[in-house]
Amino acid sequence: MLTSAVRGIARRSFSTSKCSAVQQMTVRDALNSALDEEMEKDERVFLLGEEVALYDGAYKVSRGLWKKYGEKRVIDTPITEAGFCGIAVGAAMAGLRPVCEFMTFNFSMQAIDQIINSAAKTFYMSAGKVNVPIVFRGPNGAAAGVGAQHSQCFGAWYSHCPGLKVISPYNSEDAKGLLKAAIRDPDPVVVLENELLYGVQYPMSDEALSKDFVLPIGKAKIERVGKHITLVAHSKAVELALEAANELAGKGIEAEVINLRSLRPLDINTVVQSVAKTHHVVTVEQGWPQCGIGAEISARISESEAFFHLDSPVIRVTGVDGPMPYTKSLEAVALPQTPDVILAVNKVLGVSQ
Amino acid sequence: MIPGCIRSLSRQSSHRNYGSWSKVASLFSSRKNNYATEASFETKPFRLHKLDSGPSTHVSVTKEDALKLYKQLHTIRRMETAAGNLYKEKIVRGFCHLYSGQEACAVGIKAALRDQDSVITAYRAHGWTYLMGIDPVGVLAELTGRQSGNARGKGGSMHMYARNFYGGNGIVGAQVPLGTGIAFAHKYQNTGGVCVALYGDGAANQGQIFEVYNIAKLWDLPCIFVCENNGYGMGTSVERASASTEYYTRGDYVPGIWVDGMDVLAVREASRFAVDHCTSGKGPIVMETATYRYSGHSMSDPGTSYRTREEIQEVRQTRDPITSFKERILNANLVSAEELKKLESEIRKTVDDAVKIAKADKEIPLNELTTDIYAECLETEIRNTTPFNPLSHARLGPAVNI
């Protein structure tokens, strides 16, 4: 399915879209068009957060929306996360469809009570009366050179909590299709974007360019088909897995790469089916190891029939188990690199390097 | 203005100050059987913050309204007494925060609200739930965790909901940003409604409240911030928790009003003023209701280690919101003792019957453990305590925001 032509067009992408006449779009623009289309479609949808309006968004995701929709629907807030996040949750309880932007998810810690205790639990506590249709979105995970407080993945934190849905898009199609699904969803959805991918271009199929393009939350995507080992990743780590798969292919190892897309629900069925075929799994993520996404996948495999298909243990490739240093050389090795994935694959397959 | 009232403004210095109320005009033209159809009284002066003028201290009430207010006050008291007893019988589990002593705050505010207005409160939510349209069975069966409960027994004491009523919230102060968001929705959707967001003197020191004072004022949101000052945040008196105990001024640039929270008519008057303030486009307002909690913070608190029994006794005798209102409307010949007695016995029966139902009712079936986690569940199954017997998700409630 994959051709070198695709690779030539978009080095980082292994989309299954047709390679001819495929339009390129950055993740930033994909998110922007998702917001634009859903705001146009539904008057109840509004965007609030720090610098989303006049400044066009700290990362320019909301560029042009304030001009188009005005201050009623694109709203700059003061730098008070607990306050504006709580307001957004309250507005959702009262019938609106807020998109609450955190300038980065690191700042969402100031407001995590409202996300967990107010947004995620109210529907259950009210015995199904008050559902909370809200989207919390913003950049997540390690950026570059921003130190410990701004370099963290919250995938494990939020996907731990029942009542929330959590998505972690990788490329532009993911970003657009999943954000639109999140805005239309009647439950609270956490959308973990990646800052370093905002400016990266990926192909957008004609279908993905359509206003009707929505991806299902809770379904993973097989980015690359392989038969020897399964690499399971989300967000920017998908890129890493694809690069590793590319390199491994040169040595005759065909890795199947699964882009999780959603962290909750976690599409464990796609993983299980892949494992039944490949008998080997390596998980790849940028977050910390303990109680991480890889840990969850490993546990879910152990608890499923997939365990009996394994020929070797599940191995996690993760960020180093420590805070992120500012030091450039240290930062580089604090996050998993392609050789780490290849090392893990070789160990799992018992291949000498 | 009314010297006899000013005399006892503060909680500590209170004497039988309701006795000093002036019955200004108790008899109106249309008299039947020597009973008035409307009576007027003077309230304690309101204290104002960043307001040029406040509500009138001259308040009047019709016979019909007086009976309605009395019914509500008395029902809440009766219901809370029943709740306390159910707790002592170990039928109510976990948390149970009683509203006894504070009834006039909720009843007075509710009397000023219109159909389009919303309310959100803290964990002391039983009285409000009843006022927002849930009958005593819905409240008490929720406390006993049974299926007739307002949230089918799944929410418990702090989590009850109704149309335009967004709960109970178990996280101190968290309901205030939510209420501000509900006010935002009122403005966004042009409903003309306001949202009342209530919190206690303890929560008044939470940072998120100051965050939303700021945003509400900045965006002119129709939000009435009500600080129910009952003197203690759990066991910490206001003086030991707050650098300023003038809670009605603590919105700084948000105008504020102080009202005697033991006087249902004063609270109603102040609330009408607050509603007018918000709906005239002036943005939010803070209202402090000075009140008192007879019970401990929760059922595990005897409520006597940080205050004296004498203090509680004195408030009961001199400032009780129900006794005082009863005396006023009786003295004004607005209602007869017989009428009130009849009402009281009806309420007793209603609450007693509700208690019986709340005790005898069943709990929801076990399969509701995994019902209504999501409005639209995308999980294929819900994990059980072990992976060997997964559960399925079901939908039952109406999900009002689809």
ipTM score of complex: 0.92
The confidence score (pLDDT) of residue B36 equals 87
* A256 in active site: no
Whether A92 and B401 lie within 8 Å, measured CB to CB: yes
pLDDT tens for residues B109-152? Answer: 999 999 999 999 999 999 999 999 999 999 999 999 999 999 99
Q: What is the mean pLDDT of residues B354-370?
A: 98
pLDDT tens for residues B261-282? Answer: 999 999 999 999 999 999 999 9
* A173 in active site: no
Q: What is the mean pLDDT of residues A327-352?
A: 97
Chain B within 8 Å of A113 (Cβ-Cβ)? yes
The confidence score (pLDDT) of residue B304 equals 87
Question: Is the per-residue pLDDT at B20 higher than 80?
Answer: no
Taking contacts as CB-CB distances below 8 angstroms, the residues of chain A near B179 are: 90
Q: How far is the alpha carbon of A174 from chain B, nearest alpha carbon, in Å?
A: 18
Taking contacts as CB-CB distances below 8 angstroms, the residues of chain B near A220 are: none
Chain B within 8 Å of A130 (Cβ-Cβ)? yes
Q: What is the mean pLDDT of residues B194-205?
A: 98
- Asked if residue B232 lies in contact with residue A110, where contact means CB atoms within 8 angstroms, the answer is no
For residue B94, which amino acid is it? Answer: G
Phi-psi region of B281 (alpha: psi -120 to 50; beta: other; left: phi over 0): left
What chain A holds in terms of domains, given with CATH numbers, is 25-209 (3.40.50.970), 221-349 (3.40.50.920)
Q: What is the mean pLDDT of residues A185-200?
A: 98
Question: Is the per-residue pLDDT at A49 higher than 70?
Answer: yes
Question: Is the per-residue pLDDT at B96 higher than 70?
Answer: yes
Cβ of B286: how many Cβ atoms within 10 Å?
27
Give CA angle at B170 (A86, B305), nearest 5°.
Answer: 130
Chain B within 8 Å of A208 (Cβ-Cβ)? no
Whether A118 and B178 lie within 8 Å, measured CB to CB: yes
Whether A118 and B171 lie within 8 Å, measured CB to CB: yes
Question: Is the per-residue pLDDT at A15 higher than 90?
Answer: no
| pTM tops 0.90, yes or no | yes
Phi-psi region of A218 (alpha: psi -120 to 50; beta: other; left: phi over 0): left
Question: Is the per-residue pLDDT at B337 higher than 70?
Answer: yes
* Exposure string for A237-260, b = 16+ CB within 10 A, e = fewer: bbbbbbbbbbbbeeeebebbbbbb
Question: Is the per-residue pLDDT at B300 higher than 90?
Answer: no
Choose the mutation target among A45, A46, A93 for the interface with B, i.e. most B CBs under 10 Å: A93
Chain B within 8 Å of A246 (Cβ-Cβ)? no
Q: What is the mean pLDDT of residues B321-334?
A: 97
Q: How far is the alpha carbon of A329 from chain B, nearest alpha carbon, in Å?
A: 39
Question: Is the per-residue pLDDT at B28 higher than 80?
Answer: no
Whether B166 and A90 lie within 8 Å, measured CB to CB: yes
In this prediction, what percent of chain A has a pLDDT beyond 90? Answer: 93
Where is pLDDT greater, at A175 or B1? A175
Taking contacts as CB-CB distances below 8 angstroms, the residues of chain A near B380 are: 265, 269
Q: How far is the alpha carbon of A67 from chain B, nearest alpha carbon, in Å?
A: 18
The confidence score (pLDDT) of residue A325 equals 97
pLDDT tens for residues B40-50? Answer: 999 999 999 99
The confidence score (pLDDT) of residue A291 equals 98
Average pLDDT, chain A: 94
Question: Is the per-residue pLDDT at A2 higher than 90?
Answer: no
Whether B180 and A269 lie within 8 Å, measured CB to CB: no
Q: How confident is the model at residue A21 (pLDDT cuts 50, 70, 90)?
A: low
Question: How far apart are alpha carbons A270 and A276 in whole angstroms?
Answer: 10
- Asked if residue B343 lies in contact with residue B70, where contact means CB atoms within 8 angstroms, the answer is yes
Q: How far is the alpha carbon of A296 from chain B, nearest alpha carbon, in Å?
A: 13
Question: Is the per-residue pLDDT at A18 higher than 80?
Answer: no
- Candidate list A37, A50, A150, A256, residue with the active-site label: A150
Question: How far apart are alpha carbons A13 and A215 in whole angstroms?
Answer: 18
DSSP letter, residue A325: P
Choose the mutation target among B157, B163, B184, B386 for the interface with A, i.e. most A CBs under 10 Å: B184
Where is pLDDT greater, at A230 or A4? A230
pLDDT tens for residues A90-128? Answer: 999 999 999 999 999 999 999 999 999 999 999 999 999
Average pLDDT, chain B: 92
- Candidate list A81, A195, A243, A285, residue with the active-site label: A81
pLDDT tens for residues A197-229? Answer: 999 999 999 999 999 999 999 999 999 999 999
In this prediction, what percent of chain A has a pLDDT beyond 70? Answer: 94
Q: How confident is the model at residue A20 (pLDDT cuts 50, 70, 90)?
A: low
